[in-house]
């Protein structure tokens, strides 16, 4: 007779994998100059679904992030019994701002003036990060470095709670290091405590630059598209 794995057993195995990966990542973060107890880990659960959220929380994490509003709202609803702070990481569409702030505890991707006005109306005092774009490419989300100080000032004037900056770095090491250095420099100049920078593929450079928050998906849950979406 073939053996079957119960849902509870599968959940325990997934939690064990996530916990082991998290411990290994924190050890590496310490080697790279970060205090792993002071760097917030946001578990990016896009496409992984509620099982990943439950495993992350069971492994000790309390912050999760999603890139798409429909997935954010659905996953949050299915894990409403858990104490999770939800980050919205994707580009803001002004016609979906009300849904975003209804489901997210923090909006990490404020990039334009029109988003400031919509966010301030939909949720006065909403916690936000301003997203920096260092690529200069029009299709990338984020504000150019020269525009960030003005955007931060206008967001503050509108009553938003601007807590820090977020950046998605270029894929090459030199580009990542330059992006992270620019983010730290701007955050310091603007008196912002949070620097959300570093993902699974550029974690080392973010830690060496002084990140306060990293956004990890594959590094915690394995490659997307595996069996059941988790590996």
Mode of pairing for the β-strands spanning 85-88 and 106-110: parallel
Check: CB of residue 165 under 8 Å from CB of residue 191.
Answer: no
Angle at 53 between CA 48 and CA 55, to 5 degrees: 100
Check: CB of residue 130 under 8 Å from CB of residue 92.
Answer: no
Question: Stretch 37-52: mean pLDDT, rounded?
Answer: 96
**Alpha helical stretches, state H, the chain:** 7-31, 50-58, 69-78, 97-103, 113-122, 148-157, 173-190, 203-209, 218-221
DSSP string, 19-64: HHHHHHHHHHHHHTT--TTTSEEEEE-TTT-HHHHHHHHHTT--EE
Q: How confident is the model at residue 138 (pLDDT cuts 50, 70, 90)?
A: low
pLDDT at 211 > cutoff 90? yes
pLDDT tens, residue by residue, 140-162: 799 999 999 999 999 999 999 99
**Token pair in block for residue 127:** 């916690």
| Domain boundaries, given as residue ranges, for the chain | 8-223
Q: How confident is the model at residue 4 (pLDDT cuts 50, 70, 90)?
A: very low
Topology adopted by domain 8-223: TIM Barrel (3.20.20)
The pTM (predicted TM-score) of the whole model is 0.92
Question: Percent of the chain having pLDDT more than 90?
Answer: 87
């Amino acid at each position: 007779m073939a053996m079957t794995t119960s849902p509870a057993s599968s959940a325990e195995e997934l939690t064990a994998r996530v916990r082991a990966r998290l411990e290994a990542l924190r050890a590496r973060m310490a080697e790279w100059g970060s205090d792993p107890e002071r760097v917030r880990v946001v578990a990016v659960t896009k496409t992984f679904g509620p099982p990943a959220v439950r495993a992350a929380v069971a492994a000790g994490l309390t912050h999760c992030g999603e890139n798409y509003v429909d997935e954010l709202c659905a996953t949050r609803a299915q894990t409403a019994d858990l104490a999770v702070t939800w980050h919205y990481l994707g580009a803001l569409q002004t016609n979906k701002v009300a849904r975003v702030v209804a489901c997210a505890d923090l909006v990490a991707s404020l990039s334009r003036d029109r988003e400031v006005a919509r966010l301030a109306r939909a949720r006065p005092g909403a916690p936000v990060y301003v997203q920096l774009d260092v690529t200069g490419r029009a299709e990338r989300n984020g504000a150019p470095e020269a525009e960030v100080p003005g955007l931060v000032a206008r967001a503050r004037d509108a009553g938003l709670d601007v807590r820090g900056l977020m950046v998605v770095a270029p894929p090459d090491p030199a580009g990542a290091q330059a992006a992270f250095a620019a983010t730290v420099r701007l955050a310091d100049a603007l008196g912002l405590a949070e620097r959300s920078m570093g993902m699974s593929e550029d974690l080392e450079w973010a830690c060496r630059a002084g990140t306060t928050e990293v956004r990890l998906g594959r590094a915690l849950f394995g490659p997307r598209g595996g069996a059941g979406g988790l590996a």
